[in-house]
Chains A and B, each alone.
Chain A
Amino acid sequence: MADGRRVLITGVSRFWGAELAARLEADPGVDQIVAVDTQGPARQLARTDFVRADIRHSLVGKLVRGLHIDTVVHAGLVVDPQQASRRSVHETNVIGTMNLLAACSGADSPVRRLVVKSSTAIYGSEPGDPSFWSEDMRRASPARDSFTRDLDEMESYVREFEVRHPAIAVTLLRFGNVLGEVHDSPFARLFDLPVIPTVFGFDPRLQFLDESDAVAALDHVTRGDCRGTYNVAGAGVVVLSQAISLMGKINAPVIPFVGGSLAMRVLDRFGLVAFPIELVRLLQYGRVVDTSRLHDELGFVPERGTIDTVLEHGRRRRVRGLVDDAEPYRYEHELEEFLRSRGRRGEDNGPPRPRAASAPTVRARRRRSPQPTPDAEEAT
């Protein structure tokens, strides 16, 4: 077997997994990339082996052992509560993670690294919160919504796994709010509105991270050698009113400060707002994390700071619609098949590589599902 890394990525049907796979493909040090998801990749990938499977099933364990996967990147976490129903978020985030961890555990496990993508939403957003959350702080009050509770539960499984498997380097990345061209996030949707509803009398401090920095961080950690929990966010802070002005939008303080989530729930029911109710508190109290650990221990510094990310997002959004930006990210099934067949031919000369897609168990589970549109991507 070759010396290079053999990486398994979850969640390639969404932004994070797909972009990470594309980056790893460019690295000759990575021998094999296996992507697991129930839906096709969000962007075309050249040498990634795609397995249409659900991480909720035990087959991932067989895959890991069968392919001698040494690095598992769990990027399949849903961090946009609006993207799926509460039940399916729970299934993906909690049960999916549990299964993935089970697949990586055991004495015969070839896995040496586990990277899990989490969210800074785990810190919550409450009055009297510290101005900066560092990684070892815990929120004072229990989580209010099922999404954050799931996140908490997921992280506790990961920590438990870390304790039980000291030989496996576990890295947990907690990402802040991501803005970008491709990536669809609650904040990106909010900033797309011409008039932005805010909570009356509140102007929270927020941080934003550019999507390319988000993927770069994931890539850095996947290829690097580190363990621990790290916050990932752009340097500096922005207050919401400033972000709105910088984007040239109108600030409408219309959400009442008492019962704001109730009001949003009502508006949501009538289909008037497309903003996750869980994030109303974020609009009221904000959240800022301390990223010094990321800088000092991992040596990773996001290229864009918070203000730059906001400015750049505003610039891109101004020309949206003029440039057909959806094109490169449409999943081309035929093209993938072509690339796959080409890859298979080229294999005859090289060392034999286990082919996941040809495994009968996998093929049996393969099913055609609707192609994801770029709008259905994932978000922080």
Chain B
Amino acid sequence: MTTPTRRLPARAASQNGHRSLRPDEVLVAQPQARGRRRRAPPRPSLPSLPSLPSLPSLSGLAALRRDLPATVMGATGALALRLRELTGRDVIDLESLQEVISVYYRLAALREQHRNGVFDVDDFGFDRGLTEALIPLFRVLSRRYWRVEVDGTEHLPQRGGALLVSNHAGVLPWDGAMIKVAVFDAAERHARALMASWFDELPVASWLLRRTGQAPGHPDDTLRLLRHGELVLVFPEGVRGTGKPWSERYRLRRFGRGGFVEVAMHAGVPVVPVSVIGSEETYPMLADLQPLAQLLGMPYFPITPTWPLLGPLGFIPLPSKWRITFHAPVDVGSSDATPEPATVMELADSIRATIQGGVVDDLMRRQRVFRG
């Protein structure tokens, strides 16, 4: 897919922009080096020792690697059946397991393509193939772990640009991933979330987030994406939202300076308010060690019941019950000139009020935090 640059007509972009690669025009990496490395010299046989069991051959290893997920699937399936007989209910969800294993196979296939350079990223670095291969993993999290219920998907436009504006909570931005899954499942579209520039500095996350469709939260980037007809997901609260202490959960922070409204006006696209509940309970933040955060260059250093007490286990989010509600689109009009600050702030406030109202409504409907 090509994202044409701002003033470039789509036609010109398709002519001169990206084109898909054919496998035959790609230089295939020379495999000799790898072959040499693996071909181990013959083991000298020592007469005093009993003969060693022969090492599995290279093809045997490859076959093992290929079949491992299926073997795991079979074994777990048997276990699941046994558990169901014993307990009378589904302890292991086979469908989710299947999804996870399908991710393994799709990623293995993609890795082969990537090794030969046969993949396309758009101008923002979004790799559709990789993203769609990873979605099942997040879908399992969404359906089985947080049991996300989604309302108001009819408010998502089927085509054309729109700005999704959501509240932001939880120490790690899982809410972004869950909204993206909900949008993809409802509309078969990829929401492009805007991320804090801080993620650009993190190894692995820097490219993985971009490859899965994120863009830096720069007004110019947002405008480009919207003008190209993309769904853009923005969290105007930013790190102020994710870094909220537990005591202030579900109280929306200031919505930036209303810049998102201005961008939507420039692009002439509607704003879809999104409210998310459940995300606040994933990592109850008891304290924020600001001095340490500043030392590490992080926006906050959270203390949760499990982090840093349990080390890496502290990264595991709590399985709260989630609900995502898409509200009716707000038409912010369209203007090329700089809009009146008063109008912008008024619209930003009303959108914030819609989201806060949605959060409150959903919280009232929620009977338990974790069960349900």
A binding-site residues for B, Cβ under 8 Å: 127-132, 134, 137, 199-205, 235-239, 241-250, 257, 285, 288, 290-293, 295-296, 301-302, 305, 307, 311, 314-315, 318
Interface residue? B26 (CB, 8 A): yes
A228 to B183, CA, bound (A): 43
Q: DSSP class of B's interface residues: helix, strand, loop or mixed?
A: loop
Min distance, Cβ A208 to any Cβ of chain B, angstroms = 13
B binding-site residues for A, Cβ under 8 Å: 2, 4-8, 12-13, 15-19, 21, 25-30, 33, 114-117, 119, 121, 123-125, 197-198, 200-207, 210-211, 215-216, 218, 220-221, 224
Residues of A within 8 A of B202 (CB): 201
A281 to B202, CA, bound (A): 14
A132 touches B21 (CB 8 A): no
9 other contacts beyond A128-B198, A131-B220, with CB at 8 A cut-off? A127-B201, A131-B123, A235-B13, A237-B123, A244-B117, A293-B7, A296-B8, A302-B16, A307-B19
Q: Decide yes or no: A285 and B28 within 8 Å by CB, A132-B224, A202-B206, A291-B5 being known contacts.
A: no
Min distance, Cβ A103 to any Cβ of chain B, angstroms = 35
Interface pairs A-B: 5 shortest CB-CB: A201-B203, A128-B197, A245-B117, A127-B200, A248-B27
B220 touches A132 (CB 8 A): yes
Residues of B within 8 A of A307 (CB): 18-19, 21
Min distance, Cβ A323 to any Cβ of chain B, angstroms = 18
Most chain B beta-carbon contacts within 10 A, residue among A129, A131, A257: A131
Minimal Cβ-Cβ distance residue in A for B113 = A245
A137 to B5, CA, bound (A): 15
Q: Decide yes or no: A290 and B203 within 8 Å by CB, A132-B224, A237-B121 being known contacts.
A: no
A200 touches B207 (CB 8 A): no
Q: Decide yes or no: A131 and B27 within 8 Å by CB, A290-B5, A291-B5 being known contacts.
A: no
A242 to B116, CA, bound (A): 8
B221 touches A130 (CB 8 A): yes
CB within 8 A of B218: which of A130, A199, A250, A314? A130
Minimal Cβ-Cβ distance residue in B for A291 = B5
Minimal Cβ-Cβ distance residue in B for A127 = B200
Min distance, Cβ B102 to any Cβ of chain A, angstroms = 24
A285 touches B7 (CB 8 A): no
CB within 8 A of B207: which of A131, A202, A250? A202
A132 to B123, CA, bound (A): 9
CB within 8 A of A285: which of B6, B8, B200? B200
B27 touches A314 (CB 8 A): yes
Residues of B within 8 A of A305 (CB): 16-19
A249 to B121, CA, bound (A): 20
Q: Decide yes or no: A245 and B125 within 8 Å by CB, A236-B2, A290-B6 being known contacts.
A: no
Residues of B within 8 A of A244 (CB): 117
CB within 8 A of B197: which of A127, A237, A248? A127
CB within 8 A of B29: which of A248, A285, A293, A301? A248
Min distance, Cβ A6 to any Cβ of chain B, angstroms = 34
A-B contacts, 21 listed (Cβ < 8 Å): A127-B198, A129-B200, A131-B125, A132-B123, A132-B221, A200-B203, A235-B16, A236-B123, A239-B125, A241-B114, A243-B117, A245-B115, A245-B117, A247-B27, A248-B30, A257-B203, A290-B6, A292-B6, A295-B12, A296-B7, A315-B27
